[in-house]
Amino acid sequence: EIVLTQSPATLSLSPGERATLSCRASQSVSSYLAWYQQKPGQAPRLLIYDASNRATGIPARFSGSGSGTDFTLTISSLEPEDFAVYYCQQRSNWPSSFGPGTKVDIK
Amino acid sequence: QVQLQESGPGLVKPSQTLSLTCTVSGGSISSGDYYWSWIRQPPGKGLEWIGYIYYSGSTYYNPSLKSRVTISVDTSKNQFSLKLSSVTAADTAVYYCARDYRGYFQHWGQGTLVTVSS
């Protein structure tokens, strides 16, 4: 099973700041990586798939990059509704697996 | 817009079988474009993919749970179901059903909390 690690565990930022989240895979997943946002009491929401493609309805301030084992989710300017937990997920090898998450909270 | 809704008991006794159903609306479960997955999240923890089913009945399970998991589909009711046997407290989690397109989960149910306790 491919293990995903995310850093940092917590990111404390202010609205308007830029957020950079990292996801690293234990082996290459090519570009088969997604990012999800989860708010308390809600199901995860797909943001990015295939490393860099925004899902339907996702604002342009969210962008993804990377390939192989190192990936980044960038939120260019944090809006109040962006404070949440973010998970990466790989679908390169089954079973699919998720990272442990990065919490973006208000500084 | 497709919607998914989980249903089933919120409390299961240890050693018993957890049973949940996901009802799909706004789209046919028989669409050949999608797989149908179960994912769980223990309280305060991360996400674990349990397994998926195709409308034809073919399945793939996470090896970590394979010996205890059965996923089935009822195309006439537009539903798919999860059974997890021999549960323990470690199986306490919010269980989500989700539509899987190319291995990504764009549509999720709201989730249902299942607690394993005597």
pLDDT band at B4 (very low <50, low <70, confident <90, very high): very high
Q: Which of A35, A15, A22, A21 is nearest to A77 (CA)?
A: A15
DSSP reduced 3-state for A80: helix
C-beta atoms of B46 and A94 within 8 A: no
Q: How confident is the model at residue B89 (pLDDT cuts 50, 70, 90)?
A: very high
Q: At B31, is the pLDDT very low, low, confident or very high (cuts 50, 70, 90)?
A: confident
Q: Which of A45, A56, A87 sits opposite B47 (nearest CB)?
A: A87
State the DSSP H helix or E strand holding residue A98, giving kind and residue range, or none if neither: strand A97-98
How far A43 CA sits from the closest chain B CA (Å)? 6
Do residues B48 and B62 lie in contact, with contact meaning Cβ atoms separated by under 8 Å?
yes
Overall average pLDDT of the A65-93 stretch: 97
A91–B103 CB contact, under 8 Å: yes
Query: Which residue bears the tokens 């997920």?
Result: A89
Angstrom distance (rounded) from CA A87 to CA A69: 15
Q: Where are the beta strands (DSSP E) in chain B?
A: 3-7, 11-12, 18-25, 35-41, 48-53, 59-61, 69-74, 79-84, 93-101, 104-108, 112-116
Q: Which two tokens stand for residue B20?
A: 């949940």
Is A91 in CB contact (< 8 Å) with chain B?
Answer: yes
Q: Which of A6, A94, A102, A103 is the best substitution to test chain B (most B C-beta atoms within 10 A)?
A: A94
Residue B32 has pLDDT above 90, yes or no: no
Select the residue of A36, A89, A95 nearest B63 (Cβ to Cβ).
A95
Q: Which of A73, A71, A70 is nearest to A62 (CA)?
A: A73
Per-residue confidence (pLDDT) for residue B11, from 0 to 100: 98
- CA separation for the pair B24, A57 (Å, rounded): 21
